[in-house]
Amino acid sequence: MSSNPLGFFVDDEPVTNSNTGANMLEAGEPPYRRGIHNEMYSKRLWTMRQYAGFSTPKKTNRRFRTLLDGGQTGLSVAFDLPTQLGLDSDDDLASGEVGKVGVAIDSIHDMRVLFEGIDLSKVSTSMTINAPAATLLALYVAVADERSIPRAELSGTVQNDIIKEYIARGLYIYPPKQSVRLTTDLMTWCMDQVPRWNSISVSGYHMREAGCTASQEIGLTLSNALFYARSAVASGMEIDDFAPRMSFFFACHNDFLEEVCKFRAARELWYYLVTSEFGPSDPKSSQLRFHTQTSGVTLTAQQHTNNAIRVAYQALAAVMGGTQSLHTNSFDEALGLPTEEAVIIALRTQQIIADESGVARHPDPLGGSYVIEEITDQLIHDSREIIAEIDSLGGAMECVKSGFQQMMIHESAWSQMQRVESGQELVVGVNTHSDGAQPFYEGLRIEPSDAVTKMSELVDIRNNRDHDSVIEALSALEVACKDGSNVMELLVVAMKAEATVGEVNGVMREVFGTWMAPSGV
């Protein structure tokens, strides 16, 4: 393992600077600047994976079916805030938040309903979950076991990226050391039990939405990914054991050309980082595979139908940058949860790009443009400086503890806000071409009675389950948390015994404790 992960640079420039012509290598050839597959979408399109989840498992299942019937090719689950924090729906801290920004999942009963009528062996499922990622994956696997679906046939992704929660999002539970232990437990277990599962999706999306720039998104994301890779290797895994199943998650914002270049730059930079430090044997270990979501923070409540146009250009940039998977936001999301009409338009946006625009016929269609290559090189240069600085300060997690990344994002967000308020950066409908009309839109409504019903169902579950089995499962989990054993299979057992999300995470809270990250302000 190299002691200098940035040693592939010579005289302060990347070895594959565009002046050498290396950027004109074909797609599918290292360093993958032009794409990780030589034919890209001409043989297989990106996965169209619309993010969905609200209120109850039954209502979310209905939305899943609508999307699948409409041509969606993968599922992506949005969980409500209590679930993301490992709380049951009837927890006092969950009051007012049940089912509001995602689906509420408390037990195996909910997971059964969520995927009712959906063949888990045939659909790829992404779950946006981090602090309790191990718990939710255990629930998914428990349902698959019940249906006699071999674990080896399950495919999908669990986000499982806790560092970005400390940096930009705030939905963490446990201290850093224990959180990383759960991350590596899941990665190790998936390697043997669920080999087709992407056991981590290193996310730049939330940091970009919080305010960082394109180069910062690359630099911070790849620094976090290096931390996870080093932690996995330190736990006893080889790079080729897990890196082929690592995935990434990026935002796509409004600067069309910069966003195309961002994805190209990230791919090339990751190739050199992994190759230089870890020396993998499997080519897939150094290939950056990523999901893209169009930018929620760029959507406006004013003239909200304009958002459909923003989303279309952002989606096109992601496709021209070589994404493997894509979610397109709905035009009404600045006003509330997306309606079914808006969701279908968002899906149709991807299908129009795929079927009508012609861009899918060409790998890296903008490659070779002077502007594209120059911006790509500049992003590589700026991003690697961020990575080098974070490494010099002890790595991603040590910087999190000091608030380094948080401060970087705060400063960038403040600068961007000032540009908009001064009119230096134009936003149509907000500070230019504004008609002055107040936004009004009858969006999706969550019935307050849904939360009451959810809590009532939890009472019934607790009253009718085998209490001894639950106590036994939770006791075994507590022992594993204390002695350092891998917790994943014990979580599956606990889920099958009808323990709740709040109960298993309550055990881990008792053993691991909680933590408060510095704000970086």
Q: pLDDT value at position 137?
A: 98
The predicted-structure confidence for 271-307, as pLDDT tens digits, reads as follows: 999 999 999 999 999 999 999 999 999 999 999 999 9
The pLDDT of residue 14 is above 50: no
* Higher pLDDT, residue 350 or 520: 350
Asked whether the predicted pLDDT for residue 18 surpasses 50, the reply is: no
For residue 360, pLDDT beyond 90: yes
CATH of residue 230: 3.20.20.240
**Can you tell me the mean pLDDT for 395-402?**
96
Please tell me the predicted confidence (pLDDT) of residue 435. 84
pLDDT band at 7 (very low <50, low <70, confident <90, very high): low
Put simply, whether the predicted model's pTM sits higher than 0.85 gets the answer: yes
Does pLDDT of 110 surpass 60? yes
Domain-located, residue 478:
no
For tokens 């309550």, the residue is 506
Tokens of 17: 């600077």
Residue type, 433: H
Q: Cβ distance 187 to 237 under 8 Å?
A: yes
Task: Provide the pLDDT for residue 214.
Answer: 98
Instruction: Answer whether residue 447 is part of any domain.
Output: no
Reply yes or no on whether the pLDDT at 30 is more than 60: yes
Average pLDDT, the chain: 94
Those residues with Cβ within 8 angstroms of residue 357's Cβ, 6 or more apart along the chain or in another chain: 316
Task: Decide: 228 and 199 in contact? Cβ < 8 Å.
Answer: no
Stretch 33-55: mean pLDDT: 95
The pLDDT score that the predictor gives to residue 445 is 82
- Pair of tokens at residue 284: 């897939």
SS (H, E, C) 239-251: HHHHHHHEEEEEE
Query: Does residue 58 fall inside a structural domain?
Result: yes
In which domain, by residue range, is 317 found? Answer: 9-422
Share of the chain above pLDDT 90, in %: 90
The residues with which 157 forms a beta bridge, in sequence order, are 126, 198
Q: What is the pLDDT of residues 421-431, one digit of tens each?
A: 999 999 999 99
Sole residue written with tokens 């893209």: 292
pLDDT score of 11: 43
Q: Which residues pair with 48 in a beta bridge?
A: 326
| Residue with tokens 């394109």, as numbered in its chain | 214
Within a domain: 436: no
Short-list 187, 169, 203, CA closest to 245: 187
Question: Is residue 21 a part of any domain in this protein?
Answer: yes
The reported pLDDT for the residue numbered 437 is 76
Take residue 50 and report the two structure tokens written for it. 């619309």
Task: Please state, as a whole number, how many other Cβ atoms lie within 10 Å of the Cβ of residue 336.
Answer: 16
Indicate whether 15 pLDDT > 60. Answer: no
Q: Is residue 441 part of a domain?
A: no
C-alpha 211/C-alpha 195 separation (Å) is 35
Site of tokens 């009309």: 437
C-alpha count within 13 angstroms, C-beta hemisphere, residue 350: 29
Both tokens assigned to 170: 């705030």
Share of the chain above pLDDT 70, in %: 95
Span 433-454, pLDDT tens digits: 998 777 777 778 888 899 999 9
**Which pLDDT tens digit goes with each residue over 119-141?**
999 999 999 999 999 999 999 99
Residue 520 in any domain: the answer is no
pLDDT for position 277: 98
Q: Which helix (H) or strand (E) holds 291?
A: strand 290-294
pLDDT category, 1, cuts 50, 70, 90? very low
> Residue 23 above 80 pLDDT?
no
Residue 44's alpha-carbon distances to 38, 48, 73, 513, in angstroms, are: 11, 12, 12, 46
* pLDDT surpassing 50 at residue 19: no
Scan for tokens 């999908």, then name that residue. Answer: 156
Q: Identify whether 358 is part of a domain.
A: yes
pLDDT at 24: 67
What's the structural domain count of the chain? 1
pLDDT tens digits along 199-231: 999 999 999 999 999 999 999 999 999 999 999
